[in-house]
């Protein structure tokens, strides 16, 4: 039986998130996603008189390709992908995963080489197309979230079809506040962090680039970060699971990094010069997303959370940091996770995950 929520999601992605217009080219990339979703997107793109293009991916085949990857091969793959991306106005990617650890036995040096070779294509997509990326609710995701398949699918469509337009005024107020703030101080269990965001704009995210959405991001001035942060949400990066990640900063640089897998985390941070500097600071507030599930597109939007991201900065909120790494790591400040507070220029902005200024109350869970 056809699920009407699929058509609703396709409509939201095409008409709201990417705001596709007549005559535009739209690249749809599907990673292990049911045919119905692809068909719904193709029809929706055609309905607005635009042209759909499709790339289909399969994780087990991608793994096999990556295991024996060579530089020459991925230079060709990247150059073909770049040619295609340069012809596109909009980009929609839906990533499903039958096994979230599918790439865990691809050699780390191959994963690094792939991300380095493909980075220019990613930059082209991020900076030159109107894009939106999201997950697909496979049973493996339900499992990571500790939920039944049906309950997880209901949760997925609930958070994806949230009325983002309604949150816009409060999100814009937070973005304006971030833009005019100079100094940030974050306190919590295992966390005492100070940095500047002076001169770097705050960017509200309300369903245009990610679904689910609900965050406001900026970047710290590159060398300004001082102190320590302990992340309390579990993470998965390059197919490896990480818990209890702690970073110590001196003059913006991560000088000490520990976790349940300290060796692997330092390997990632040694990928390139920029990987030990922070490229993004963001505050998450999707009221329907409460618990982490090792899926960053959901976890970085958790109500009462913030993320502090080693690696590449976004050009729209740029501190100049460049890296093939962009690793969103999340700290949840709700009381059930130990609480905490965020101050902008000395003023209390959020305590225990709830915004204090009145203009931001609509963003509270």
pLDDT of residue 22: 98
- Cβ 211 vs Cβ 160: under 8 Å: yes
Evaluate if residue 297 carries a pLDDT over 90: no
Question: pTM score, two decimals?
Answer: 0.80
Q: Rounded to an integer, what distance in angstroms lies between the CA atom of residue 330 and that of residue 308? A: 7
DSSP, res 22: T
**Residue 206 pLDDT > 90:** no
Residue 189: other Cβ atoms inside 10 A: 12
State the pLDDT at residue 145.
Answer: 84
The per-residue pLDDT for 101 is 81
| pLDDT score at 258 | 98
Indicate whether 320 pLDDT > 90.
yes
Residue 121: predicted pLDDT = 96
Q: Kindly report, residue by residue over 132-179, the tens digit of the pLDDT.
A: 999 999 898 898 888 999 999 999 998 888 888 889 999 999 999 999
For residue 293, pLDDT beyond 90:
no
* Better pLDDT: 298 or 251: 251
- The C-alpha atoms of residue 314 and residue 321 are separated, in whole angstroms, by 9
Tell me what the mean pLDDT of segment 87-109 comes to. 91
Q: Which of 333, 88, 315 is nearest to 219 (CA)?
A: 315
Describe the strand order of the beta sheet including 203-205 as a list of residue ranges: 203-205, 215-218, 278-284, 305-310, 330-332
The pLDDT of 62-88, averaged and rounded, is: 96
Residue-wise pLDDT tens digits, 303-316: 999 999 999 999 99
Kindly report whether the peptide bond that precedes residue 212 is cis, defined as omega within 30 degrees of 0: yes
324: left (phi over 0), alpha (psi -120 to 50) or beta: alpha
Residue whose entry in the numeric block shows the structure tokens 């500790």: 146
- pLDDT for 99: 85
Specify the pLDDT at position 332.
98
What's the pLDDT band for 209 if we cut at 50, 70, 90?
confident
Give all domains of the chain, ordered by start, each with its CATH number. 4-160 (3.40.1830.10), 166-363 (no CATH)
Q: How far is CA 326 from CA 123, 296, 350, in A?
A: 12, 11, 25
Asked if 17 and 93 touch (Cβ cutoff 8 Å), the reply is: no
What pLDDT does 61 receive? 96
* Mean of per-residue pLDDT scores for the chain: 95
pLDDT recorded at residue 2: 85
Output the pLDDT for position 1. 75
Mean pLDDT of all residues in 26-47: 97
Percent of the chain with pLDDT over 90: 84
């Amino acid at each position: 039986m056809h699920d009407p929520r699929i058509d609703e999601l396709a409509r939201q992605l095409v008409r709201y998130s990417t705001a596709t217009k007549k005559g535009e080219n739209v690249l749809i990339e599907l990673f292990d996603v049911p045919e119905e979703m692809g068909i719904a997107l193709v029809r929706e793109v055609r309905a607005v008189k635009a042209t759909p293009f499709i790339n289909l991916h399969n994780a087990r085949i991608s793994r096999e390709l990556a295991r024996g990857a060579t530089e020459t091969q991925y230079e060709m793959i990247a150059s073909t992908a770049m040619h295609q991306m340069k012809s596109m106005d909009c980009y929609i990617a839906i990533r499903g995963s039958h096994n979230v650890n599918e790439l865990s036995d691809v050699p780390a040096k191959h994963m690094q080489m792939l991300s380095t070779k493909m980075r220019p294509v990613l930059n082209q997509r991020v900076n030159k197309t109107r894009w939106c990326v999201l997950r697909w609710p496979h049973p493996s995701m339900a499992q990571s979230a500790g939920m039944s398949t049906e309950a997880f699918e209901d949760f997925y469509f609930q958070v994806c079809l949230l009325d983002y337009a309604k949150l816009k005024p409060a999100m814009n107020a937070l973005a304006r506040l971030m833009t005019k703030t100079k100094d940030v101080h974050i306190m919590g269990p295992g966390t005492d962090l100070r940095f500047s965001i002076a001169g770097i704009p705050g960017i509200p995210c309300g369903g245009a680039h990610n679904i689910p959405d609900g965050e406001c991001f900026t970047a710290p001035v590159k060398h300004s970060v001082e102190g320590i942060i302990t992340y309390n949400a579990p993470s998965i990066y390059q197919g490896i699971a990480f818990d209890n990640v702690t970073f110590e900063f001196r003059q913006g640089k991560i000088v000490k990094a520990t976790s349940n897998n300290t060796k692997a985390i330092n390997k990632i941070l040694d990928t390139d010069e920029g990987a030990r500097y922070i490229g993004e600071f963001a505050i998450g507030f999707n009221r329907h997303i409460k618990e982490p599930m090792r899926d960053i597109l959901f976890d970085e939007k958790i109500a009462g959370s913030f993320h502090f991201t080693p690696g590449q900065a976004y050009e729209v909120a740029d501190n100049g940091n460049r890296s093939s790494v962009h690793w969103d790591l999340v700290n949840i400040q709700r009381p059930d996770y130990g609480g905490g507070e965020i101050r902008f220029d000395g003023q209390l902005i959020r305590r225990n995950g709830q915004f204090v200024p009145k203009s931001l109350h609509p963003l509270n869970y």
